[in-house]
Amino acid sequence: MAKFCSNCGNELSENSNFCAKCGSSVNGNENNGSTVVINNYNNNEVKLPERNIVVCILLSLITCGIYGIYWFIVMTDESNMVSDEQTASGGMAFLFTIITCGIYFYYWNYKMGQKLHQAGQKYNKPIGDNSIVYLLLSIFGLGIINYCIIQSDLNRFSK
């Protein structure tokens, strides 16, 4: 007998714990510590994996910025998910930053502040509108501080 997801109606495999289409838990099974992003649309709730900010900074330094690129892309995609505002994906935002010789990065910082503030209001998370702060820090070359604050705000959606 076939099983179907109670959230989206997708057909489930025999021993699946999560829906492959929407990520909802099947039969109330827990995540078991994996970093699967779960969207529970019935409860209007988004759960993101929590990232340790110190580890992210160290990995960015050790890899000469390569992890920082990955971090930028992931933060962009996760902020799009929690804000339900589908602006440029993480990969496209990184590409726009390269094409514009870094000018898009200033816009990205400003928009991240607005998107996270709106998402915080939507999900009752205490996130202020830091768009001007992010813009000023990026102008003065302190973008890594923005990454830390943004990740701290995104970590609020993992609880």
Any domain includes 125: yes
Q: In which domain, by residue range, is 145 found?
A: 53-158
Q: Residues 93, 76: contact at Cβ < 8 Å?
A: yes
pLDDT for 78-99, tens place per residue? 999 998 887 889 999 999 999 9
What number of other Cβ atoms are within 10 A of residue 128's Cβ?
12
Query: Total domain count for the chain?
Result: 2
Say if residue 95 is in the same domain as residue 136: yes
Q: For residue 82, give the H/E element and its range.
A: helix 66-83
Say if residue 12 is in the same domain as residue 34: yes
Any domain includes 48: no
Say if residue 91 is in the same domain as residue 153: yes
> Above 90 in pLDDT, residue 47?
no
pLDDT of residue 85: 81
Q: String of b and e for 87-123 (b: at least 16 CB within 10 Å)? A: ebebeebbeebeeeeeebbbbbbbbbbbbbbbbbeee
Say if residue 85 is in the same domain as residue 18: no
